[in-house]
Amino acid sequence: MKTLVILISGRGSNMQALLNADLNVDRMVVISNNPRAEGLQIAQQQGVETCVVDHRDFKDRQGFDEVLAEKIAEFQPKLVALAGFMRILSDNFVRRYQDRLINIHPSLLPAFPGLATHARALHEGVKIHGCTVHFVTPQLDHGPIIIQAAVAVLPEDTEASLAYRVLQQEHRIFPQAVRWFMNDQVKVTGDVVQIAHASVSQITLYSPGLAE
């Protein structure tokens, strides 16, 4: 049984992209640290199992992470996907799920780890921006890269317009990365990921800039 556990904190559009895709999984479970996450309702409407581990019920990160890790373990997932999960996970959590924990990040890593990536890209005047799916390691937003997609930064871009175009690409690359993982096509050697039976143009997507 191939189970995918998806962790969310809010809107859940990346989660939805996963729920809508053909991922070669037998079971999907959505877990949120935020009982008010919009994504929880979307998942429930689609008949997907959900649960909440509210970080506010715990006095420290370690306590929250231990309960979250145990909750996830109940489902014996092949893969855990962070889809807009806005909590930093402790080293113990990351080590427990190492090699089966991936994240979607709205920048071309290693550029712009952390928050406010689109504002920072505009501020730095980069001409190409994008998104990355990577394995999670103890160092924030730094793990081995599975797939990236780039968009042009347009002269008239605002934070919102750039975020919109990057998000469209997120919705393409996240399901692709999960599908490869579920199909056992993903091999990690040190910091480098190789995808069996995938072309360079599938691993590095480029969008010419305007909304599709």
The residues binding ligand GRF (CB under 6 A) are 10-14, 83-84, 104-106, 167, 170
d(CA 175, CA 183): 12
Could you tell me the smallest distance in angstroms from the CB atom of residue 59 to ligand GRF?
26
Q: Which residue has the tokens 């809508």?
A: 20
Could you tell me the smallest distance in angstroms from the CB atom of residue 14 to ligand GRF?
3
- Beta strand 101-105 with 128-135 is antiparallel
Q: Which residue number, 10 or 138, has a Cβ lying nearer to ligand GRF?
A: 10
Whether 180 and 133 have beta carbons less than 8 Å apart is answered as no
Q: Which residue number, 106 or 175, has a Cβ lying nearer to ligand GRF?
A: 106
Our answer to whether residue 55 is catalytic in this structure is no
Give the active site residue among 105, 129, 134, 171: 105
Residue 86 CB contacts under 8 Å (≥ 6 apart), including other chains = 9, 10, 33
Q: Which residue number, 105 or 129, has a Cβ lying nearer to ligand GRF?
A: 105
d(CA 57, CA 140): 24
Could you tell me the smallest distance in angstroms from the CB atom of residue 1 to ligand GRF?
26
Could you tell me the smallest distance in angstroms from the CB atom of residue 177 to ligand GRF?
12
Q: Which residue number, 83 or 150, has a Cβ lying nearer to ligand GRF?
A: 83
Whose CB is nearest to ligand GRF? Answer: 84
d(CA 35, CA 24): 28
Longest dimension (CA), the chain: 49
Catalytic positions = 105
